[in-house]
């Protein structure tokens, strides 16, 4: 067995220290022995143990346990997340309860049973690693939130419709109301969800994003609600689902319109009772999330066709935001184009690039079936390929393929593939199963290509 971690053992009995060291040396990389807690805080500044095993009495004739409680409090002041297991020869339940309330991880009675002591310390060590991982995730989330803060410093445009949308977003963000965002592919639904989270009281907590279109029906419960070890063949360990990961924060369910009817019922049940039960477990866990959903489908039509549950729709769309396509707010194209040009020019170290008036007019005249996402990627491609500081109309290869005959020779294989997929998605109203059948590819392959081409 590989030794891992370090432990401080504090006890005024040298025989106890030696016995403990002999026992723990096979389980911890480092075992530090202290016969007095007087230098403990100094030692903690130079060493960072994973566990502390602390005796509760150090003065002769005093068996109240108050000394142990005092040093427990001092340790917690120095490192609130450090697990402390208390050691005493007196099996006092009241003292044990008092110690646990004061922050002790566990309580061991002398004379000890080796197996129980090892199990207690191993559990405390695992707790330490778990807390470190949580801290690491919090730090990572803070970084992501900082990135989100910068990322959402975006260009909304100057159109009245977008200004009004931003006003509504700021009003609803401070509430916990569920939000349904609808609009065509590429209009920026996920970015709007992030903006709502950014302006909300939950902004310091996680925002967890789930592409429902890529979650298979068989894995739906495991992905969203989690599972326990052994729940199914590949469940090698306990795993939290997306709802638990988003607890106290925001859960964003993209492509909600692609959810199967049976999965819709499971989602509705969780939203009604506000608790989840991991697959393979019988213990419900309360959840506190703000739900934001998005789809490019008309869910009212889906309800009428019997493809989407009406009761779930009512749960999702307390607030409904419709994001307009770019062709309906052409006055925003110049500002967005300049914004993306500055962003992409900086990304590729081509600072100072500009758009000629003729190029800008070409961009304004195009219908942008892929909306804002297509505009950004078109500008990025132009920045990469152009050697000129001023971008001209010829730098932008815009394709009109809404039923017109295509000049196949002017397209690469990848461009043709992207066009075919985009046309099929539009033809079948985003139904990916039908699109996959139409194109003769599997659903996973289709999801991969949709992500690859940013459709």
Residue-wise pLDDT for 196-249, tens only, equals 999 999 998 889 999 998 888 888 999 899 888 888 877 777 788 899 889 999
The DSSP call for residue 408 is G
Q: What is the Cα–Cα distance from 81 to 377, expressed in whole angstroms?
A: 46
SS3 sequence, 291-351? EEEEECCCHHHHHHCCCCCHHHHHHHCCEEEECCCHHHCHHHHHHHHHHHHHHHHHHCCCC
- Residue 397 contacts residue 377 (beta carbons within 8 Å): no
Q: In what order do the strands lie in the sheet with 106-109?
A: 30-34, 6-10, 51-55, 84-88, 106-109
| Structure confidence at residue 436 as a pLDDT band (50, 70, 90) | confident
Give the range among 136-140, 154-158, 295-299 with minimum mean pLDDT: 136-140
- Residue 219 contacts residue 232 (beta carbons within 8 Å): no
**Bigger pLDDT: 96 or 50?**
50
**Bigger pLDDT: 47 or 297?**
297
Q: What are phi and psi of 26, to 5 degrees?
A: -85, -5
Helix axes 432-439, 413-427, angle to 10 degrees: 130
| Structure confidence at residue 7 as a pLDDT band (50, 70, 90) | very high
**Please, what sign has the CA dihedral across residues 201, 206, 212, 216?**
negative
Q: What is the mean pLDDT of the chain?
A: 86
Q: How many CB atoms lie within 10 A of CB 122?
A: 15
Domains along the sequence of the chain with CATH? 6-132 (3.40.50.2300), 170-322 (3.40.50.300), 330-452 (1.10.8.60)
Residue-wise pLDDT for 322-378, tens only, equals 999 999 999 999 999 999 999 999 989 998 999 999 999 999 999 999 999 999 999
**Bigger pLDDT: 46 or 337?**
337
Q: What is the Cα–Cα distance from 362 to 324, expressed in whole angstroms?
A: 21
| Structure confidence at residue 406 as a pLDDT band (50, 70, 90) | very low
């Amino acid at each position: 067995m590989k030794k891992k971690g370090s432990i401080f053992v504090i006890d005024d009995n040298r025989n106890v220290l030696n016995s403990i060291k002999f026992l723990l040396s096979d389980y911890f990389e480092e075992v530090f022995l202290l016969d007095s807690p007087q230098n403990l805080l100094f030692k903690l500044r130079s060493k960072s143990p994973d566990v502390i095993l602390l005796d509760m009495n150090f003065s002769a004739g005093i068996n109240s346990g108050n000394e142990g409680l005092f040093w427990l409090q001092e340790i917690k002041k120095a490192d609130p997340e450090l697990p402390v297991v208390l050691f005493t020869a007196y099996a006092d339940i009241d003292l044990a309860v008092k110690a646990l309330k004061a922050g002790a991880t566990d309580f061991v009675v002398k004379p000890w049973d080796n197996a129980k002591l090892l199990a207690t310390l191993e559990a405390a060590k695992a707790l330490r690693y778990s807390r470190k991982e949580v801290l690491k995730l919090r730090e990572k989330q803070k970084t992501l939130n900082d990135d989100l803060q910068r990322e959402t410093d975006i260009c909304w445009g100057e159109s009245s419709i977008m200004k009004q949308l931003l006003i509504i977003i700021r009003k609803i963000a401070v509430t916990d109301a569920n939000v349904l965002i609808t609009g065509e592919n590429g209009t920026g639904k996920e970015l709007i969800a992030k903006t709502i989270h950014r302006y909300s009281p939950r902004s310091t907590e996680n925002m967890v994003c789930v592409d429902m279109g890529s979650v298979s029906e068989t894995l739906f419960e495991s992905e969203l609600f989690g599972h326990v070890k052994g729940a199914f063949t590949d469940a090698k360990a306990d795993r939290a689902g997306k709802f638990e990961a988003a607890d106290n924060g925001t859960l964003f369910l993209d492509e909600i319109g692609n959810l199967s009817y049976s999965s819709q019922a499971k989602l509705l049940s969780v939203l009604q009772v506000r608790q989840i039960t991991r697959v393979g477990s019988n213990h419900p866990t309360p959840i506190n999330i703000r739900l934001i959903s998005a789809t490019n489908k008309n869910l009212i039509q889906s309800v009428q066709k019997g493809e989407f549950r009406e009761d779930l729709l009512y749960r999702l769309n307390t607030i409904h935001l419709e994001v307009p396509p770019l062709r309906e707010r052409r006055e925003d194209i110049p500002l967005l184009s300049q914004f993306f040009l500055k962003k992409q020019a900086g990304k590729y170290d081509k600072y100072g690039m500009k758009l000629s008036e003729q190029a800008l007019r070409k961009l304004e005249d195009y219908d942008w079936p892929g909306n804002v996402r297509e505009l950004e990627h078109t500008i990025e491609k132009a920045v990469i390929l152009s050697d000129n500081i001023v971008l001209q109309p010829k730098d932008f290869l815009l394709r009109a393929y809404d039923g017109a005959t295509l000049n196949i020779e002017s397209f690469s294989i990848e461009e043709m593939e992207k066009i075919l997929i985009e046309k099929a998605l539009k033809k079948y109203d985003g139904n990916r199963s039908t699109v996959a059948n139409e194109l003769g590819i599997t659903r996973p392959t289709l999801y991969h290509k949709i992500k690859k081409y940013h459709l």
